[in-house]
Structure 1
């Protein structure tokens, strides 16, 4: 029997954590278990899972391992544990695919598409110069874009704040026309009353969706927001399991779900979430402002999900100031974008070859990324 015999964790810039698992037959699988800004915490959780359970186990029993990692502790769920499980799960699927000589999507039933559409970020954390940036990205072949709707907002802000968001989206729409899709991310930084006002203000420019219009702890308000606008509602990056998604599916207020393959339990769990979504006529657009391993895992799930709409990817995103997605790959052409799409990888496992030497060099750098803490004019903390 092949066994899991070793593992390594590499914290690398700009803000990622890579997991390398090795088996007794020499097969290596890669995963990306991270909560952005909490890499060291998740690292400890991964070490606990490997050291107390997975070392010495047969890597092929992925479903059983998932259930054991999830149910084997009295406390379960949440961003840290589910992100740790996610990275391990990705690595186990990578190993299985490599051992069987097939892409993961072949092991999940085979692909239902040849490629997946991707979108490109513009504008940064506090969105600026979005019209010019949008035109540049469309010139590069992208047919879908995403931008933050606002910078920080007060719980009830003034008409100028609403007008500024409206003007930014108008500038992008004027720049790229009606054949380019524009996702607008509220980023959980918008309160319920402001979400209602912004949705109304942005509707004439027909965004592809408004993302995370309220924080997940206020998902009970999504129905009210949805009834006030025809813009599709998207959410899910801070939801970590199929049980977290149950309520919004049953409520019927969400049109696009965005589970993160590095936060929501990995390939095993997100394929189940995607199937649940399909039964409620809800589209899938996996969240992925992360590295190449997470993106590769996303594409494997996109390949087998009939309801996959579009894929986030972080090339040139504003977080990637020191390293970018392709820097860690021995063959970066696997993620070449053509007319706003990326072809499904044909290599075994996750379909990528990680440049181990580069990963080890980068892991020697000091990495301590944390998201900024924003404050209102009165000094009170506001959502980032």
Structure 2
């Protein structure tokens, strides 16, 4: 079998899909994307695929090594995301060619269902609480929401701190203790702000607090961990096992590599294995499309230290496009009581609706730019 071609599709809301074709009629799908930088990642995919023309798609590890290390300059989100999408497609091809799910090629399943969570949204505390109740009534028992929807100063005032705590308390009061709630700080908080706010949320028992500092301040995670009993999660903007090497000893409880950013199935499998000796669980980041979620699930079902899976249904930014719109069989992502059953189809376990993909409008989505009241740049 040889690789004979590929095609990229930029689709709404802010995703990009890759199809890799072989001379035996087996095609694999991947999802390489840096949200807001699709064109840049596409250029990198085009460059990397030059070396794969005519190659055996089954030599996944060798291709990963060459793509990741074959250039003098390595790493970063663009290269790692391009590699990730190609890697997903190669695993999809191999699984389909052998007639088995990818998780069978990773040692076989270690569970029959994967727990998932969904997002809650609302401009006011009341709207957020109402939306959270609706999510629970839809069958989810684990929710995540932003600690604060607006800009965050380096050190929040007493009034803002109280409003953040009240926001979480409103959701807890609405759904009760039988629902797990995770809070996303989204890198908008400094380490000082996280150390000030998180201890005040402890009585409300968050499942975890996500990204309490920006990735460039990962060295400060230990101080955040030591300041609170809330489990700390991080990793959506870390792109390799080398990025996670210095994070794992800080005491974080959950790592969240993104399979479309952190080198794909091949690298996230290694990152998960690295985390296990540190007693750290895996919760892959995935606010993306169906191919990325399918790749995550292959890892989830083969990983002993898996905790929970993010997915983008209900995430709030789709603007008319949904996770299921690009699938032939939507039932593969049926959520029952907050769980997904193990997919049994070969490869990534999904069939992409190529007609729907081709009909989807392309986009030039861009990350919004926020500013503080004084006009200075603010983290989004």
- TM-score with structure 1 setting the length: 0.97
2:364 paired residue number = 368
Return 5+ residue gaps in structure 1 as ranges: none
Q: Is the Cα–Cα contact under 8 Å of residues 7 and 22 in structure 1 kept in the other structure?
A: yes
Identify the range of structure 1 (374-383 vs 317-326) with the bigger mean alpha-carbon deviation: 317-326
Question: CA shift at 1:195, angstroms?
Answer: 0.8
CA distance in 2 between counterparts of 1:336 and 1:70 reads 35
Aligned ranges for residues 63-82 of structure 1 at < 5 Å? 63-82=61-80
2:290 is aligned to 292
Paired residue for 1:271, among 254, 269, 272? 269
Pairwise CA distance, 1:316: 1.9
Measure the CA separation in 2 of the matches of 1:319 and 1:54.
35
Q: What is residue 259 of structure 2 aligned with on the other side?
A: 261
Distance 1:300 1:281 in 2: 21
Asked if the contact 1:212/1:236 (under 8 Å) is kept, the reply is yes
Question: Does the C-alpha gap of structure 1 residues 333 and 164 become closer, same or farther in structure 2, counting only changes over 3 Å?
Answer: same
Q: Which runs of 4+ in 1 moved over 4 A?
A: 124-128
State the Cα distance separating 1:168 from its structure 2 match.
1.0
> Cα gap change, 1:6/1:127 in structure 2, threshold over 3 Å: closer, same or farther?
farther
Q: Secondary structure at the match of 1:196?
A: helix
Contact 1:127 1:149 (8 Å CA) reproduced: no
* Cα shift at 1:124: 5.9
Q: How far apart, CA to CA, are the structure 2 residues paired with 1:128 and 1:24?
A: 56
- Output the CA distance in 2 between the equivalents of 1:152 and 1:6: 45
Change (3 A) 1:125 1:284: farther
CA distance in 1, matches of 2:228, 2:221: 11
Taking only aligned residues, the RMSD between alpha carbons, in angstroms, comes to 1.1
**Normalised by the size of structure 2, how large is the TM-score?**
0.98
Retained in 2: the 8 A contact 1:125–1:148? no
How many Å apart are 1:322 and its aligned residue? 2.6
Matches within 5 A, 1:14-163: 14-51=13-50, 53-123=51-121, 129-150=127-148, 151-163=150-162
The answer to whether the Cα contact below 8 Å between 1:109 and 1:304 also exists between their aligned partners in 2 is yes
Q: Distance in 1 between matches of 2:83 and 2:316?
A: 27
Instruction: Give the Cα separation in 2 of the matches to 1:24 and 1:87.
Output: 20
Could you report, residue by residue, the CA deviation over 1:89-122 in whole angstroms, capped at 9, with x for unpaired residues? Answer: 0000000000000000001000000010000111
Aligned equivalents of 1:152 and 1:131: distance in 2?
21
Once residues 123 and 194 of structure 2 are traced to their aligned partners in structure 1, the CA distance between those partners, rounded to angstroms, is 18
Shift of 1:321: 1.1
In 1, distance between residues paired with 2:279 and 2:351?
35
Q: Which structure 2 segments of 5+ residues have no match?
A: none
Q: Aligned equivalents of 1:214 and 1:13: distance in 2? A: 29
* Cα pair 2:122 2:129 within 8 Å, conserved: no
- Count of aligned positions: 379
1:140 Cα deviation (Å)? Answer: 0.7
Number of the residue aligned with 1:377: 373
Q: In the aligned structure 2, how far is the partner of 1:344 from the partner of 1:99?
A: 20
| Residues 75-99 of structure 1: per-residue CA shift (max 9 Å, x gap) | 1111000000000000000000000
Match for residue 282 of structure 1? 280
Following the alignment from structure 2 to structure 1, what is the Cα–Cα distance between the partners of residues 123 and 20?
34
CA 1:127–1:322: 2 relative to 1, 3 Å: farther
Find the residue that maps to 1:17 and give its secondary structure.
strand
Q: Provide the secondary structure at the position in 2 that maps to 1:129.
A: helix
Equivalents in 2 of 1:250, 1:121: separation in Å? 29
Give yes or no for the alignment of 1:231 onto 2:230.
yes
Could you say what secondary structure the match of 2:245 adopts?
A: helix
Q: 1:232–1:255: 8 Å Cα contact kept in structure 2?
A: yes
2:233 touches 2:252 (CA, 8 Å); kept in 1?
A: yes
